[in-house]
Each structure stands twice: as C-alpha cells, then as structure tokens.
Amino acid sequence: MKKMLIMGPPGAGKGTQAESIIKYYNIPHISTGDMFRAAISNKTEIGMLAKKYIDAGNLVPDEVTVGIVKERLSKPDCKNGFLLDGFPRDIHQAEMFSDMLKELGISIDLVLNIHVDHEKLVNRIIGRRICPKCGRTYHITYNKPLKEGICDDCGTSLIQRKDDNVDTVKNRLEVYSHQTEPLINYYKDLVVNIDGDRDVDVIFEDIKKVIGE
C-alpha cells in the first residue's frame, strides 16, 4: 500500500504529515503546490502561467496541472510508491488522472483524508511559514523552529506564502468545499479518514498503522 494520495482542506496538515511519511517509507512526495511554487521562483513558463491563479486562490488550469503530474509519475523513482499531495483537486482532474494511471499501468492503493474543522484552518494557514530552500513547514505557534524565523534543517530564513493571507484563504476554502471535497465520495472505496486536529506525532502514528509496513 505505497501508492497513495493525501487529501484534506488547505491547512489540514497534508504537507506536514507528508514530510514524515516520505522519510519513513522512503517514497517521493509529489506536491503540485510545491512544484508550482518552485516553477514560480525559477520563473519558468509554467510558473508564470500558474502564478495569477495561485495568488488568487483559484485552481491552475488542468492542461498545465495534469501534464506536470504525468511527467513526474513517469520517473523511475515512483515505481515502488509515491505520495501525491494536492492532486487531483476536482472531479475532472480525477477522471483525467484515472486515464493517466491506466496509461502508466499504475493503481492507487490508499487515499488518506485528513479532516480539520474549517474555523481552525484559517489560524493554521495564516501562521504558516515555509523554508523557501528545503520546503519544510513551520507554524508561528504550533510548530515553531528552534530559532525564530530560521529553518532548523538548513538555516535559511523562513517566508510566508503569498497566498497565505485572510482574503485568499477564504476563497481557497470555498474552492475546496465546492471542487475538491466531492472527491472523498469519488474515492470512497480507498479513503481512510484521519482526525487532523491532534498532535502532529499522534496523527503520524495513526497514519503508520493505516499504511502498514
């Protein structure tokens, strides 16, 4: 069971749990959000295109998103498993994803769905800080770095994502409710619900039990 999706609203803790999961199981973390942020900071064509959608909290068009996922999943390091985070994000992407999986001869074994009440998500997102170099995620209250504003792993100054502001978050939560949440039913046979309103380590212990060895 190592070809997995991790789902949940923005701020639920997908990226945080993904950091632990990929280390423990030694599989690649494929985050469409991270790939877009890297493309934006490298000023690639995809980055330029994606930026305006991301800054507004809307979904990047499928033609772009599906293409980058397919390219990534075709790489040899995905053969023995992967954790896909942030994709698919609506039913149309899920249908395109299903065709892609058939073409690549892959099937998904498990969908982890992390749920947290929406009123708690805004605080999580507004207080989120990320390391622009290694991607590690922190929180100004719940998950502080050892030294304020500095990444524990690589010493880089932490930044706040441009889309982590009150206005954009509201739209992102709406986009989630309307477009992404219906996927929980779409994948109902594969979904395992995880209560994301607990300590990070407690949640990870639970996830390990679900995934197995």
Q: Where are the beta strands (DSSP E) in 22-117?
A: 29-31, 82-85, 110-115
Tell me: does residue 124 bind ligand ADP (CB under 6 A): yes
> From CA 142, how far away is CA 161, in angstroms rounded?
17
d(Cα 181, Cα 194) in Å, to the nearest integer? Answer: 15
Contact with ligand ADP (CB under 6 A) among 5, 30, 40, 54: 54
Q: Judging by DSSP bridges, how do beta strands 3-7 and 110-115 pair with one another?
A: parallel
Candidate residues 11, 73, 100, 207; the one interacting with ligand ADP per rule CB under 6 A:
11
200 binds ligand ADP (CB under 6 A): yes
Among 3, 21, 25, 87, binds ligand ADP (CB under 6 A): 87
CB of 138 to Zn ion, least distance (A): 9
Residue 147 known to be catalytic: no
**Residue 72 in contact with ligand ADP, rule: CB under 6 A:** no
- With CA atoms as reference, report the closest residue to 12 among 131, 176, 182, 144: 176
Q: Is 89 a catalytic residue?
A: yes
Provide the sign of the torsion angle of the four alpha carbons 25, 130, 55, 191, taken in this order: positive
> Is 72 in the active site?
no
Please report, as ranges, the residues that interact with Zn ion according to CB under 5 A. 131, 133-134, 136, 151, 153-154, 156
